[in-house]
A and B are shown apart, each in its own frame.
Chain A
Amino acid sequence: MRCDLAVIGAGPAGLAAATRAAEAGLAVELFDEQPAPGGQIYRAIETVPAPRRALLGPDYAAGAALAAAFRASGAGYRPGALVWNVDSQLNVDFSQDGRSRQCRARAVVVATGAIERPTPLPGWTLPGVTTAGALQILLKAQGLVPAEGVVLAGSGPLLLLLAEQLTRAGAAPRAIVETVPRGRLSAAARHLPAALRAPGYLAKGLAMLRALKRAGVPFHRGAEALAIEGADHAEALSFTAGGRRQRIESRLIALHQGVVPNQQMTRLLRCEHRWSDGQRCFLPVVDDWFESSVEKVFVAGDGAGIGGAKSAALRGRLAALGALRRLGAGEDKRLAGEAAALRGALDKDGAVRPLLEALYAPSAQILAPADDTLICRCEEVTAGALRKAVALGCPGPNQAKSFLRCGMGPCQGRLCGLAVSEVIAAERGEPQQTIDYYRIRPPLKPLPLAELAAFDVGDDAGDEAGDDQDAA
């Protein structure tokens, strides 16, 4: 199987990239692990019932146009397809319907988006503890809301948005415990003038806060030293705020500390990454066209740095233009003109980011977890064990694998990677950039041996026959 452009991920960036490239006549294949387009942000956008769509708000509903344009574009679409490897020759190995196959691409757009930043704090692995993003998935996909009052804890716009959506759905959270320290707002205020250039964001944020206040959701600010209590199940969240220890009972606690790029695919491809102090994570290095350090590999959307849904769609289009340019499928001058307009819009939309990054920077507690807090949940490695390994001479995350096996479980280091790099950097007193990150190995997610054994690489002569069988 072959294509000109393989797009991985059907969120706003992937949909926009696939649409634009297909409109220009490229043979596009869009691979997505989910059963329907939309990604996390526009999950279930094509099938969501009207009342739920209204409840989720106009920003969510805006995704429908993207999905519709994609459907009309003629781009190939493979839902339920897990891309588990992309090699340096741009062969895309994917698993769909229990079968693994390979698609040879001339260029790749990685649009695998963001993941929620893992939040290692005491008790975070107890049953009953989840993330804000997970609750929002249930709300978007199935219209499910917590039966019992949930406690939302952490920081970031998603925390407030979810609170507002749950409130509107009649399942107001029991409390919001925000870890943004006092004084952060005034420190972030210097970014305010720039943020005003991005229309709408601030007004929406303030409206959200007002709505929560009106609904009477208890709001605890400046919380520190969060801990989830409970032996076999979460029973309460305790924290220090306003100089005293407080405790809120709930069997459902959702944590959130912002989102970070999902680096698995770009690391697998060995793209160059740089540490970003602003976003407090690694970002793949990309040029004006969102092309990474690996030729013909583009990174669009939040995977190239957190920018939100609107920016993701703009970046997706831009990456598609970059691919067209690279593959010689468009007139350079026209592509440059279109790209310039997109970059202008991107610049404007991204103006709010420095403010958000400064205001909602992750809490100190999760960046430097206490010694007895689990940091790698697959292999049950504590932050203290990692610090001891560093004291014994462990110089980086890849060596930590052989010392402690952290990052070697089923999540392939997706959940502990950043925290492990941060802890080692702090212990050794070196910058995160020097410490770097895990080397990521295929498969990106575990795969049955029998499926690999029957892996169909395909060959040039057999391509057509293979595709016919697919159709049958």
Chain B
Amino acid sequence: MQARYSFFSLARNALGYHENWPEAWRSPEPKASYDVVVVGGGGHGLATAYYLAKEHGITNVAVIERGWLGGGNTGRNTTIVRSNYLWDESAALYEHALKLWEGLSQDLNYNVMFSQRGVMNLAHNQHDLRELQRRIHSNRLNGVDSEFLDARGVKEFCPIIDLRQGGRYPVLGASLQRRGGTARHDAVAWGYARGADARGVDIIQNCPVTGFRISNGRIQGVETGRGYIEAKKVAVVTAGHSSVMAGLAGFRLPVHSLPLQALVSEPVKPVIDCVVMSNAVHAYVSQSDKGELVIGAGVDKYVGYGQRGSLPVTEETLAAICELFPIFRRMRMLRQWGGIVDTCPDASPIISKTPVQGLYFNCGWGTGGFKATPGSGWVFAHTVANDNPHPLAAPFALDRFTSGYLIDEHGAAAVAH
């Protein structure tokens, strides 16, 4: 049994120079058979396993990860958390996630450094302004906190923004979600991993899934780099590689995998204490605890799996950032990287049963999956445990692409898909 992290355990370990902390999760050999195999050890997959164990009492579960925990999009995103989506279905899902975020560190007994510093979305023209106000009204009707700031309000909330209105991207106003903010991405993966492990879930890293065994339209198990593993149910949460996984299971998903990139600057003293996003220029910026500016850019215009992204996108984003924040102009960029985001035609996720019985997919989160991590795991665990969609997940089933009941969130997704 794991030791609980507490003030006393901290004090006790301090006396031992922090040399004697137990390992946070085991590295077991895979068993021959599980009730549920979760494919993908990112935040969503680990959260799914955690809630399967905690909320549904299903503990004979394995999380199988090709690389290491949180090495995919979980460790590559810009860690923004918010719930100000336009449509009822999305607002309900993301707001459920945000409420879980608010108690997550306590629930997991692991500090995920959730910081509700406020997320501001800028409007640069009259159209942006109207669109933003429409979204604010919609958010409020759905019980999501959202408020409008005029230009002066923007300046008060984020004093380093340049409001001289002379440039290419004048700031006319913004929406603000005060409950939004950031969290430490690695800690989210680790916290869920530790919580799931404590409840008996096996976490198996460096183990690629290479195929599915299916007979009579029902899943039997998964072929992996460490042999065949039998499974009553298989839950696939592999983000950018979802369409590859679906291909292995013999069906197609309406997702495009695109490189999305981000970059960090050298660390500096605190200079920006909120998150600023601009949908129009595909730029978002916040400051990490270490002091680096974390800057997110748009997606590349072509399909790719390169986990790098192309420079013209960075250039365009930085041109806007430098104009909005002249104070950043002389800061140095330290590192740029990319992640593969799986995007759906309506910029909404897929949380769904599939044509194969006992095989479930959770994917298509596009550029905004991190913020949904707890909610995504919660509703997906329910869907897998009951073989029936959670009410919040039901609108996000695969059949919406045949029924036409799409949930168009291109506006709220902040980055064009």
Contact = CB atoms under 8 A, between A and B. Distances in A.
Partners in one complex: yes
Interface of A: 85, 87-88, 93, 388, 391-393, 395-396, 398-399, 402-403, 405, 408-410, 412, 441-443, 446-450, 452-455, 457
Given A393-B27, A402-B186, A452 B314 contact: yes
B334 A410 contact: yes
A447 B68 CA distance: 30
Nearest to A396: B68
Given A410-B266, A446-B332, A449-B321, A393 B25 contact: yes
Contact of A453 (B24, B27, B321): B321
Given A393-B27, A399-B68, A453-B318, A447 B311 contact: no
Given A399-B68, A405-B290, A453-B321, A441 B333 contact: no
A449 B71 contact: no
A448 B334 contact: no
B125 interface: no
Contacts of B335: 408, 412, 441-443
A412 B263 CA distance: 13
B329 A449 contact: yes
B311 A449 contact: no
- Of the listed residues A87, A396, A405, A443, the one surrounded by the most CB atoms of chain B closer than 10 A to its CB is A443
Contacts of A392: 21, 23-24
Contacts of B138: none
B133 interface: no
A334 to B, nearest CB: 39
Which 9 residue pairs spanning A and B have beta carbons closest together? Answer: A446-B332, A450-B329, A453-B318, A453-B319, A453-B322, A455-B315, A402-B186, A441-B335, A399-B68
A447 B332 contact: yes
A204 B205 CA distance: 53
Given A449-B322, A452-B314, A443 B333 contact: yes
A325 to B, nearest CB: 29
B331 interface: yes
A449 B337 contact: no
Nearest to B74: A402
Contacts of B71: 398-399, 402
Nearest to B306: A88
A396 B68 CA distance: 9
B68 A448 contact: no
26 contacts: A87-B310, A388-B19, A395-B205, A396-B68, A403-B186, A408-B335, A410-B266, A441-B336, A441-B337, A442-B311, A442-B336, A443-B334, A447-B332, A447-B333, A448-B332, A449-B265, A449-B318, A449-B329, A449-B331, A450-B318, A450-B322, A450-B329, A453-B329, A455-B315, A457-B311, A457-B312
Interface in B238-286: 265-266
Contacts of A441: 335-337
A450 B322 CA distance: 6
A398 B25 CA distance: 19
B75 interface: yes
Contacts of A408: 334-335
Nearest to A455: B315
A443 B71 CA distance: 21
B414 to A, nearest CB: 20
B148 interface: no
Contacts of A450: 318, 322, 329-330
B334 A446 contact: yes
Contacts, number: 88
Nearest to A93: B311
A450 B310 CA distance: 18
Given A392-B23, A393-B25, A393-B27, A452 B315 contact: yes
Contacts of A412: 334-335
B206 interface: yes
Nearest to B265: A449
Contact of B333 (A87, A403, A446): A446
B364 interface: no
B334 to A, nearest CB: 5
Interface in B66-100: 68, 70-71, 75
Nearest to A409: B334
A449 B315 contact: no
Interface of B: 19, 21, 23-25, 27, 68, 70-71, 75, 186, 205-206, 265-266, 290, 306, 310-312, 314-315, 318-319, 321-322, 328-337
A410 B264 CA distance: 11
Interface centre among A85, A399, A408, by most chain B C-beta atoms within 10 angstroms, is A399
Given A398-B71, A409-B334, 8 more contacts: A85-B311, A396-B68, A446-B266, A447-B332, A449-B322, A449-B330, A453-B318, A453-B329
A392 B71 CA distance: 16
Contact of A395 (B19, B23, B206, B334): B206
Contacts of A457: 311-312, 315
A257 B312 CA distance: 41
Contacts of A85: 311
Contacts of B27: 393
A453 B21 CA distance: 45
B290 A453 contact: no
Contacts of B314: 452
A448 B19 CA distance: 40
A398 B69 CA distance: 12
Given A395-B206, A402-B75, A457-B312, A449 B333 contact: yes
A398 B71 CA distance: 9
A447 B332 CA distance: 5
Contacts of A398: 68, 71
A448 B25 contact: no
A348 to B, nearest CB: 41
Given A399-B71, A453-B318, A393 B23 contact: yes
Contacts of A405: 290
A452 B19 CA distance: 44
A455 B25 CA distance: 45
Contacts of B19: 388
Nearest to B70: A402
B328 A449 contact: yes
Given A453-B319, A455-B315, A457-B315, A448 B70 contact: no
B63 to A, nearest CB: 14
A87 B329 CA distance: 25
Contacts of B337: 441
A452 B297 CA distance: 13
Which residue, B27, B310, B311, B328, has most C-beta atoms of chain A within 10 A? B311
Centre residue among A398, A402, A403, A409 by max chain B CB count within 10 A: A402
Contacts of B332: 410, 446-449
Contacts of A399: 68, 71
A448 B330 contact: yes
Nearest to A268: B308
Contacts of B75: 402
A391 B328 CA distance: 40
A393 B203 CA distance: 12
Contacts of A454: 319
A60 B206 CA distance: 50
Nearest to A456: B315
A470 B295 CA distance: 31
A24 to B, nearest CB: 31
A450 B321 CA distance: 9
Taking each of A403, A410, A446, A452, which has the highest tally of chain B beta carbons within 10 Å of its own beta carbon?
Answer: A452
Contacts of B331: 448-449
A103 to B, nearest CB: 13
B186 A453 contact: no
B330 A452 contact: no
A87 B308 CA distance: 10
A454 B329 CA distance: 11
A19 to B, nearest CB: 31
Given A399-B71, A448-B331, A453 B315 contact: yes
A69 to B, nearest CB: 35
> A449, A450, A455, A457: which has the most chain B beta carbons within 10 Å?
A449
